[in-house]
A and B are shown apart, each in its own frame.
Chain A
Amino acid sequence: MFKWAWKSLFNQPGHLLGSALGIASAFILVIFFDSVWRGESVQVVAYPDNMKPDIWVMQSGVGNMHMAMSFIWDWKAKKIEKIEGVKKVTPILYTSSIITVNNKEMFAFIVGLLPGTQRAGPWEMSAGRQIENPGEVLIPDVLSKIGNINIGDSLQIIDQTFTVTGLTKGTFSSANTVLFVPFSNLDKILSSSGTYSYLLVDTEESIDAKKLAKKIKNDVAKVNALTHKEFIANDLSMAKQMGVEIIVMMTIICSVLAALIVAFTSYSLIMRKRKELAIIKALGVNNRTVLYSVTAQSIIVTLSGFILATAFAIFVIPTLPQFIPQLTLLVSIDAIIQLGLIALIVSIAGALIPAYMVLRVDPATAFHV
């Protein structure tokens, strides 16, 4: 019986391929959405993750960086510097704002760097040089590509015009594009004289960062201090919460769609093979065996679609950012495994209508002339 199921499917390779492609497309939609979400979530923490200080210090009540606002007095940085175990304190100013690139407005995060604080600057440059003078800006190389803006060109942040002096790598995402400007310029934009946003604290070797963070919180009034791990975890969990509902709903919609395509394929096949099925039944094969073979067909079709979708996810999705650079995609094996389980459910759900049709096939029709 399973041989029959196998053969009748592969008798029409075009039909099988069409069905597999339809199912694969529905699954690709799910994987793609998931990749965007995961890619953006990881990219949201790209800046703090690459800075890797032992401790992050910020305004009390603030516990992360993405979409947050933090201000602490500059004298607190000096006080923290004097605490035993602290090796270095690197202050930054930080804000989110809209930037205007060639008359196009984009959302971006801006980091203000004090002179000589490369520690908090870009971790990789792809062209140009670091900031040396006021009015200069470092932009992501992807932004340069999509915004058609190059070294020497200018862009606007609020009411100030900046000249691009360098292109940075790994700093772009749709939700979290990071630009670097001189501290003095951002200070003026924010009217935040005498304050910093975050302090990157490096500790002496063999110092317990968790204990030191606690000490900073106790010794310095109205600041929050978190270890790098805690800080990143906070940002990542918030980024992942945003949009998770969309991923779930898209997975549901596309799975239903895949189930419908499976149902259609199996149904068409059964309708064409009604007479064969009647003969099989007339020969004494019971309903259960026939149902198993219908389900097997459904699983084969779904599995083919799933394999195609997985191949697409592994080989094609990672290359997409070359053509659409503003996309940050991260294909997750976990997501593919989850989808595999969904595919199994889909294949069984898709077999339900054809199974009903099989049960209705009358063995007597095998003897109709």
Chain B
Amino acid sequence: MFQLAWKQLKLDRWRTLLTAIALGGVIAVILILEGFEQGQYYQLEQLVLNRKADLIATQSGVNNFIAVRSSIPQFSRAEVESVEGIINAHPITSLPIIYNKNNIRTPVYVLVYDTWGGPSSIIRGKHIKKGNDIVIDISLAKKYNLKVGDKFFVTDFEFKISGFTKEAAFMMPLAFISYDGMLDLFLESEIAPDLSTFPLLSYMLLEIDPAFDRKKIQQQIEARSPFVDVFTPSQIAERDKNMGKTFYAPIIGLLVSVAYIIGMLVVGLIMYSDIRSRIKSFAILKALGFPFTKLFQAVVFQSLFLLLLAIPIGAIFAQSFAIFIHNIFPIYLFQIFSPNVFFQSVFASLIFAFIGAMIPLRSIQRTDPLLAFQGE
């Protein structure tokens, strides 16, 4: 039956290729959707992990890095730094802004840093050197056709783009400025009279002496300073990822379910049309005494072979598409080959192909062996 299924596929190579491409298309849709979701989670995690802190201090009650306002009193920094084992508490502030140019508005997550927490890499240009320098995510540069050295206005304050980075999260590009830049922005721009409400210290990136135990330091800081909570970067990253899941999972989950149904229908359609065209062959096999289970096996093997051909095609489609989209719109990251996405999708596709292969079984069951002895 294994051989029968294989030979059947080899008989009409055009058809097999077309079928594998169609199935590959379905697998690509599933991989793209799942890859998009994973890409979003990855970006959320990296936003925290890229700050390269040993521990992170937040405002008491704040457990996330994105989509939340954290404001720590300035004096808490001295309290934290007085804990034995802390080498430095590097300040960082987050400032969500809406960038507006030519009436096109984009929410941008601005990170204000001093010594730690700046852009994880500079893909073009240079790091911040002066107060009015800004490093922006490449997606923002592409969207507004901005170049290194161009002006970048936040309200009416003029920054100068010193470099591009590749950091975005929650479908928002990131931008980095220094504390000098933030103070200039607050003092020189129109928002100056109201700056007292803006947090000047959102988080502290803690640099720990490796000889000290992180857990103990965590406890000591929380005991000494009631205004801060302390987490490991991976704890915050996990919380940000979970918050992202509540946002993305219901929508993407439903879309993926629809994609699986398409896959099942395509397999069913292929097998149905194939069996209808070979109904006489099945009648002959039945007349020769092949039991229904054997014929069933042949159909299942055939659909699985098709799927095995379709998986690499789908993976190539999906990855090519992901690269293409990421190049045009760098804000969207796809994690197609993330092991849990890829293997989960392949496994689910196998199940759906198996279910799809069931669709035409009734036709085989109803085939009369006498058909084998009828003429054309």
> Taking beta carbons and an 8 Å cutoff, which residues of A are in contact with B?
12, 14-15, 18-19, 21-22, 25-26, 28-29, 32-33, 36, 59-64, 66-69, 71-73, 95-98, 104-107, 156, 158-160, 174-175, 189-192, 195, 221-222, 234, 237-238, 241-243, 245-246, 249, 253-254, 256-257, 260-261, 263-265, 267-268, 271-272, 320, 324, 326-327, 353, 357
Contact = CB atoms under 8 A, between A and B. Distances in A.
Contact of B68 (A97, A195, A249): A97
A62 B273 contact: no
B69 A190 contact: yes
A67 B370 CA distance: 71
7 contacts: A59-B191, A61-B156, A98-B63, A98-B67, A104-B246, A249-B321, A320-B254
A94 B325 CA distance: 35
Contacts of B149: none
Contacts of A25: 258, 261-262, 265
Given A63-B100, A195-B194, A327-B250, A260 B18 contact: yes
A28 B69 CA distance: 39
Given A73-B193, A222-B191, 10 more contacts: A15-B272, A21-B265, A25-B265, A62-B98, A64-B98, A106-B247, A174-B251, A261-B266, A264-B270, A268-B15
Contacts of A68: 96, 98, 107
Of all A-B residue pairs in the complex, the 7 with the closest CB atoms, nearest first, are: A159-B61, A61-B155, A18-B269, A25-B262, A60-B190, A260-B22, A238-B105
Contact of A60 (B155, B171, B265): B155
A158 to B, nearest CB: 4
Interface string B3-25: 00000000010110011011001
B61 A156 contact: yes
B268 interface: yes
B309 interface: no
Interface stretch (B26-34, B203-211, B338-346): B26-34
A12 to B, nearest CB: 7
Interface string B125-153: 00000000000000000000000000000
A270 to B, nearest CB: 10
A70 to B, nearest CB: 9
B272 A327 contact: no
B262 A98 contact: no
A267 B29 CA distance: 23
B26 A257 contact: yes
Interface in B154-179: 154-156, 171-172
B262 A67 contact: no
Contacts of A97: 67-69
Nearest to A14: B272
Interface residues of B, number: 77
B197 A63 contact: no
A158 B62 contact: yes
B32 A326 contact: no
B61 A160 contact: yes
A107 B329 CA distance: 24
A19 to B, nearest CB: 6
Contacts of B358: none
Contact of B258 (A19, A29, A62, A263): A29
For the residues of B in contact with A, the DSSP-based class is helix
A159 B107 contact: no
B93 to A, nearest CB: 13
A159 B71 CA distance: 12
A62 B191 CA distance: 10
A68 B67 CA distance: 11
Given A253-B29, A264-B22, A267-B14, A69 B321 contact: no
Contact of B171 (A14, A63, A96, A243): A243
B367 interface: no
A264 B19 CA distance: 7
A268 B12 CA distance: 11
Contact of B265 (A22, A260, A324): A22
Contacts of B191: 59-61, 71, 222
Given A25-B261, A60-B155, A271-B12, A242 B171 contact: yes
Interface in B284-309: none
B254 A324 contact: yes
Given A63-B105, A238-B105, A243-B171, A96 B67 contact: yes
Given A60-B190, A241-B106, A253-B321, A353 B18 contact: yes
Contacts of A107: 67, 243, 246-247
B193 A222 contact: yes
A67 B68 contact: no
A221 B194 CA distance: 11
Nearest to B61: A159
Nearest to B171: A242
B106 A238 contact: yes
Nearest to B25: A257
B64 interface: yes
B255 A33 contact: yes
A29 B29 contact: yes
B22 A245 contact: no
A238 B107 contact: yes
Contact of B59 (A159, A234, A260, A261): A159
A222 B190 contact: yes
A18 B197 CA distance: 61
Contacts of B172: 67
B354 interface: no
A60 B194 CA distance: 10
B220 interface: no
B235 interface: no
A38 B105 CA distance: 18
B18 A59 contact: no
Interface in B183-234: 189-194, 196-199
Contacts of B239: 105
Contact of B325 (A32, A249, A267): A249
B276 A15 contact: yes
B41 to A, nearest CB: 14
Contacts of B63: 98, 105
B92 interface: no
Contacts of A174: 247, 250-251
Nearest to A28: B258
B325 A245 contact: yes
B277 interface: yes
Contacts of A234: 105
Given A32-B255, A222-B191, A261-B266, A15 B273 contact: yes
